[in-house]
Amino acid sequence: MIATRIIEHLDSGASGPLDLTTEDRLDETRENEMLVSGPDWFGEADADLLRWGDSRLQEAIGAEMVALSQDLAVTGPPPRQAGRAIVPPEWAQHIRSLRTRRL
pLDDT: which is higher, 46 or 52:
46
Spatial distance between the Cα atoms of 40 and 38, rounded to a whole number of angstroms:
5
Of the CA atoms within 13 Å of residue 36, those in its CB half-sphere come to 16
- pTM exceeds cut of 0.75: no
pLDDT tens digits, one per residue of 6-18: 899 999 998 888 8
| pLDDT-based confidence at residue 97 (cuts at 50, 70, 90) | very high
Q: Which residues contact 48 (CB under 8 A, 6 or more apart)?
A: 38
Give the CA count within 13 Å in the CB-facing half-sphere of 79. 3
Grade residue 73 by pLDDT with cuts at 50, 70 and 90.
Answer: low
